[in-house]
Structure 1
Amino acid sequence: MQNNEPPSTKPKGFFDRLAAAFHDDAPADREAVRETLREALERGLIDTDTCSMMEGALTVSELRAHELMVPRSQIYAIDLSEPQETWLSIVNESGHSRFPAVDGDLDNVLGLIHAKDLLKLITKPDLDVKTLLRPARFIPESQPTNVLLRDFKATRSHMALVIDEFGSVSGLITIEDVLEQIVGDISDEFDREDKSGNIVPDGKAWRVKAITPIEQFNEYFGADLEDPYCETIGGLVTDRFEHVPRADEVLEEKNFRIRILRADERQVQTLLVERIG
């Protein structure tokens, strides 16, 4: 039977528009999706964490491996050509659970090794470590991180080595690096908290990481900033703006001028702080 009812003129609700924004045929771009999410946040339909994770999931598909990787100079690798005591010391001090195993340098990767597998050396000190190696995965610098995340899931891998156009290892990326773009920083009991670089002099001003605790900020500057809802200086600044600040926005708080140096759509990252008055 033919339906002669006129098409509905009822305005689309939030979930209708969100579904349409993700539909292949819908005339919407990623920014439209983000605006819809922010509207939902303002209306209380979703909370801040949910909005942040959904925006993070969108961002992941826009990033490439080279943007998240640990650069080559910061990779902890086990060089099996060196004495066992040397690389066991690296394993112990780094606190990581997986390592590239190399012969000489990162241009000759033999495989990956798990720290837990090295425990077998306690009962079998003469064991050939190469028998413990697992295959290493290599990906190009240009690989989209959402594709990499699917690959990690399909292969049950947690780490990949990133190679440049010449086939040389340029970095390393883990599943945690990708997931942190969605859910925020992931820390465990083995992560070391180093606050020494949170506040760095820069001429007559200071570069301050947004994650700096307000208590540390006050101690360093002899200040008395406070916020009942936040523990970090980045949180305090965001609370004062009542929105996620953008780069170059400026806040004057008591005797300080705080300029946003770096920020993304979800959080402030770096601040430039000057004394005033």
Structure 2
Amino acid sequence: MNPFWVLFAALIATGLFASLRLSLVDLARAVLEDIATVRNRPNATRRIKAILDDTPGHARAMGILESLSAASVVVACVAEVATVTPETGYVLKDALIGVPIAGGLLWLVAIAIPSSVAWHVGERTLYSCSAMVRACWIIAAPARAMARFIDEIVKRLAGIQASTESEVLEAELLSVVEEGEREGQFDEAERDMIEAVVEFRNLTVEQVMTPRTEVEAFEVTNDLGKVTRTIKEIGHSRIPVYEDSLDNIVGIFYVKDLMRWLAGEGAGGGAREAGQPFDLRSILRPAFFVPETKTVRELLRELLQKKVHIAMVADEYGGTSGLVTIEDILEEIVGDIRDEYEHEEEQTPEVEVKLDTRTAEVDGRAYIDDVNDALTPLGWRIPESDEYDTVGGFVNAILGRIASPGESFRHDQAVVTVLEASPQRVLKVRLEVRPSEPGAGLAQAPASMGREENGQSSK
């Protein structure tokens, strides 16, 4: 056969397979589904569904056939330009001339043209060639199986765990969002919300709950005046009620239930007897308890099913670890939600960084990750550890006890000073980064603390 016609056929095949592969890689599923719906051809629709169910597999098949076609281009190109003599066969010098020619042709038909086709008419091309794509997927089955086998070997040698389909989709979505932000299609707030939705399924109750030290509750009492004063002080419409200690929650108090009682409605919904004394337990609602390890997605589903707004979080020993509300969960997606019942001082823990003095004043409740982000301009980070999550926890872990106001110590390149503290926790801390100054007169942090960042346990 004339090498020219072999070269021509190989170039056409390479361009077609490359166009289909790139169209599958950059596929807009919704667009392809819309094309199939509009054209309404049952056989083509079935083929499109099969392609969408295994897009990576079909792309791999196109890649395999593209590689074979490209190899044919090189061979045909060399055969076309080389001269043959009875004594020496192919002349090497002439044969080598065909290699750069083949490279230029392959750039044109395997990269330049297919990229443009995939970008502008990729979905339409896939729909028109869906029968061929499916046939090639079947033909390339042995090669696809070998490629998957090699892929698994490489993953195991590299110690990479196989990703689930949902994890792959999440990673692709986040990549698209980041690219969209760079191109101006999303602003920062929209990006943060999308990322929060994607990461939502991995959150646990422990990560979003209000910790025990910040839970506002009151002890069970039948003193109506005391109850009304407590409501005014706390300012929430739903409040946990305990007996003896916070580990013994007896129910959840709803302000609207008290309003109904004052309006003459009894505990069962009927009329309250005249002169009936106030009994707080009679209007309390049962507390709903959940473990710290429950995922936020599961909890939200349960709260909606049970039609309750608040859940008490129990630790592994049965004690009260904190509480979580539907509002806490929604704030993980849409950000801070404030209502008319919240006090002005109930705000997100603040981190105030002063670049001129290389200092930062930090709320003791602030999370380490948030503080480290704010400290980036100062060139220092608080070491992370399983022993603590907040700045106050970091200070207490360093000192081995609850810190007192005015205490200072040096840790790495920073001087940490406790500005405010209660007998139970650290309220406010000042961090002063001093890279070159000695910590004379200051307590030194134990050397073991903060090694976890380097792969060593701090315990």
Equivalent position SS for 2:337: coil
Equivalent position SS for 1:61: helix
Aligned to 2:281: 130
Work out the CA distance in 1 between the residues paired with 2:344 and 2:211. 21
Aligned to 1:117: 257
Given that residues 252 and 285 in structure 2 are in contact (C-alpha distance below 8 angstroms), is that contact kept between their aligned partners in structure 1?
yes
Q: 1:15 to 1:134 in 2, by over 3 A?
A: farther
| 2:21 pairs with 1:9 | yes
Aligned to 2:343: 192
2:245 is aligned, of 85, 105, 111, to 105
Once the 2 structures are TM-superposed, how far is the Cα of residue 46 of structure 1 from its aligned partner? 3.5
Once the 2 structures are TM-superposed, how far is the Cα of residue 71 of structure 1 from its aligned partner? 1.7
Work out the CA distance in 2 between the residues paired with 1:10 and 1:201. 48
2:211 is aligned, of 71, 85, 88, to 71
Work out the CA distance in 1 between the residues paired with 2:190 and 2:306. 28
Work out the CA distance in 2 between the residues paired with 1:64 and 1:90. 31
1:182 is aligned, of 326, 333, 336, to 333
Deviation per CA, 1:142-189: give whole Å up to 9, x if none: 111121122222222211000011111111111111111100000123
Deviation per CA, 1:168-214: give whole Å up to 9, x if none: 1111111111111100000123322238x8477999723267xxxxx
Report how many residues are paired: 221
Once the 2 structures are TM-superposed, how far is the Cα of residue 82 of structure 1 from its aligned partner? 6.3
Work out the CA distance in 2 between the residues paired with 1:149 and 1:259. 37
Aligned to 2:438: none
Aligned to 1:160: 311
Equivalent position SS for 1:161: strand
| 2:235 pairs with 1:90 | no
* TM-score, normalised with respect to structure 1: 0.64
Work out the CA distance in 2 between the residues paired with 1:258 and 1:178. 33
Deviates more, 1:73-82 or 1:171-180: 73-82
User: Comparing both structures, which one devotes a greater share of its residues to strand?
Assistant: 1
Q: 1:141 to 1:127 in 2, by over 3 A?
A: same
Q: 1:206 to 1:121 in 2, by over 3 A?
A: same
Q: 1:55 to 1:200 in 2, by over 3 A?
A: closer
1:40 is aligned, of 175, 180, 195, to 180
Amino acid at match of 2:360: W
Deviation per CA, 1:212-261: give whole Å up to 9, x if none: xxxxxxxxxxxxxxxxxxxxxxxxxxxxxxxxx956532xxxxxx69787
Work out the CA distance in 2 between the residues paired with 1:97 and 1:247. 34
Work out the CA distance in 2 between the residues paired with 1:260 and 1:150. 37
Once the 2 structures are TM-superposed, how far is the Cα of residue 98 of structure 1 from its aligned partner? 0.5
Work out the CA distance in 2 between the residues paired with 1:208 and 1:33. 34
Structure with greater Cα Rg: 2
Given that residues 41 and 51 in structure 1 are in contact (C-alpha distance below 8 angstroms), is that contact kept between their aligned partners in structure 2?
yes
Amino acid at match of 1:83: D
| 2:211 pairs with 1:60 | no
Given that residues 261 and 272 in structure 1 are in contact (C-alpha distance below 8 angstroms), is that contact kept between their aligned partners in structure 2?
no
Work out the CA distance in 2 between the residues paired with 1:132 and 1:95. 19
Over aligned residues, Cα RMSD in angstroms?
4.1
Aligned to 1:226: none
Q: Identify which of structures 1 and 2 has the higher relative contact order when contacts are C-alpha pairs closer than 8 Å and 6+ apart.
A: 1
Given that residues 14 and 40 in structure 1 are in contact (C-alpha distance below 8 angstroms), is that contact kept between their aligned partners in structure 2?
no
Q: 1:176 to 1:135 in 2, by over 3 A?
A: same
Work out the CA distance in 1 between the residues paired with 2:337 and 2:236. 14
Give 5+ residue unaligned stretches, structure 1.
210-244, 251-256, 263-270
Aligned to 2:376: 249
Aligned to 1:169: 320
Work out the CA distance in 2 between the residues paired with 1:126 and 1:104. 22
Aligned to 2:191: 51
Once the 2 structures are TM-superposed, how far is the Cα of residue 105 of structure 1 from its aligned partner? 2.3
Once the 2 structures are TM-superposed, how far is the Cα of residue 31 of structure 1 from its aligned partner? 4.2
Amino acid at match of 2:339: D
User: Comparing both structures, which one devotes a greater share of its residues to helix?
Assistant: 2
Deviates more, 1:117-126 or 1:101-110: 117-126
Give 5+ residue unaligned stretches, structure 2.
1-15, 31-51, 57-162, 265-275, 364-371, 384-429, 434-459
